[in-house]
Homo-oligomer: A and B are copies of this chain.
Amino acid sequence: MNLAVIFGGASYEHEISIVSAISLKKILPALEHFIFVDGNRDFYWIPASEMRSKHFADGIYKKNPKLFLRPGGFYAKGLWGEKRVPFDTALNLIHGGDGEDGKLASLLEFFRIPFIGPRIEASVMSFNKHLTKLYAKERGVKTLPYLLARKNEKREFGNEFPLIVKPLRLGSSIGVSIAKNRQELDYALDVAFEFDEAALLEPFMQGIKEYNLAGCKINGEYHFSIIEEPQKKEFLDFDKKYLDFSRTQKLLKADLSEASERLLKEAFIKLYDDSFEGSLIRCDFFVQNQEVFLNEINPIPGSLANYLFEDFPKILQSLAHNLPKERGIKIDYRYIHQIQKAKGK
C-alpha cells in the first residue's frame, strides 16, 4: 500500500490533524509519505522519521522540501529538475476546514490524484451541520430538532433549556457549549460565533445513549467497525477530543442488542450510499426508545478510527484499490468546428 498522508491545513483543527497523522503512522509503520499543509497553505514533504509534533510546532518542517501541486501529483524542485512524490493514493487526513469542507477533495480531483476521503458533495453535506440535517432527512434518517442562529440576527430562541450550541461548520467539539439558561446561551453563542457566522442549537439530551459506527463500502460491500459507546462527561470537549485523535488502542464493543446494532448499520448505509464512496467515515448516533438519530457524520475521523477496526490495514488497502473513478470527458471541439465551418472559416 503506497499511500501519502496529507495533513495539517489552515484550519482550527490543524494541530489535531498533526496528532492524527502521527497516530496513523504508529498503526501503519509502512507508511512512507507525509505531505504537510502549513497555515500558509504551502505543501511540505516530511520524512517519516520526522513525524513528531515538535517538528511542526517548532517550525522545523520549513527545512523540508516544498511541494507543488500539478496535474498528476505533488512535485519537489531539485537541482536536476523535478521529482514527483512517488505514491499511488493520497489519504486526506486534514480534519475540519480545508480537509472536510471540500477544498482538498477538489484539489485532488482537479489534479487527478486518486485519494481516500470524502468527495466534494459529501464533504459539503457533512461539514455544514444544517446541510447534514437536510441530507439525513432526505435519506430517511432522523436527527434531533434544531434552530439556526446567525451572528447578526436577534437572539430569540424560546425558553427551553439545556441547549447544546455548535458552530455551524466545525468538528472536534471546538466552540461547542451547553447552555442551561438564557445567560449561558448568550455566552455560548458568542463563543460559537468566534468560529462561524452561524450556529446550530439543539436540545441537550442528558443521558441519551450515544454510539459511534465507522465503515466504508468496498466493491459494493459494507465493512463495518465495532460499535463504540463513547466515554463522556457532559460531552467531549476539545481537550478530551484532542487526545481522542491520537487513539490507537483497540476498544471493547458496546453492549448493544442485535436489533439496535442492525438499526445503526441500516442508518449508516442510508447515509453513506452513493455519496461517501471512497471514504472511511464514522457516524455518531443517538439511540432513544429504539429510535436512531444521527448526531453527526465524521467524514475523516481522527486517525481514521483505526481503533474500531479489527483489521484496519486491510480495510484501508482494499479501499485504496476501489476508489470512485472520474467520468472521462472527451473534448473534441465539435461545436466550435461546426460553427466555423458554417461561417466558411
Residues of chain A whose beta carbon lies under 8 Å from any beta carbon of chain B: 10-12, 14-16, 18-19, 38-42, 53-54, 56-57, 68-71, 97-98, 101-107, 109-112, 120-121, 124-125, 128, 131, 134-135, 138, 150, 195-198, 239, 242, 274, 327, 329-331, 333-337, 339-340, 345
Contact = CB atoms under 8 A, between A and B. Distances in A.
Contacts of A53: 336, 339-340
Given A57-B333, A57-B337, 12 more contacts: A10-B329, A10-B331, A14-B329, A16-B335, A18-B336, A57-B340, A68-B70, A102-B102, A103-B109, A103-B110, A107-B107, A121-B124
Contacts of A121: 124, 128, 131
A102 B120 contact: yes
Nearest first, the 3 closest Cβ-Cβ pairs linking A and B are A106-B106, A57-B333, A39-B331
Copies per complex?
2
A41 B102 contact: no
8 contacts: A15-B336, A57-B337, A102-B120, A102-B124, A105-B106, A120-B120, A121-B128, A134-B134
Contacts of A150: 274
Nearest to A134: B134
A54 B121 CA distance: 35
A9 to B, nearest CB: 9
Nearest to A59: B333
A15 B102 contact: no
Nearest to A195: B327
A336 B56 contact: yes
A62 B97 CA distance: 35
Contacts of A15: 331, 333-336
Contact of A120 (B19, B38, B101, B331): B101
A277 B157 CA distance: 26
Contacts of A102: 102, 106, 120, 124
A128 B120 CA distance: 11
Contacts of A112: 41
B110 A41 contact: yes
Nearest to A40: B71
A110 to B, nearest CB: 5
Contacts of A11: 329
A120 to B, nearest CB: 5
A223 B320 CA distance: 48
Nearest to A127: B121
A56 to B, nearest CB: 7
A69 B124 CA distance: 23
A46 B87 CA distance: 33
Contacts of A104: 110
Nearest to A331: B39
A248 to B, nearest CB: 16
Nearest to A14: B331
A330 B239 CA distance: 18
A48 to B, nearest CB: 19
A138 B132 CA distance: 13
Contacts of A38: 331
A71 B239 CA distance: 31
Contact of A71 (B42, B197, B198, B330): B42
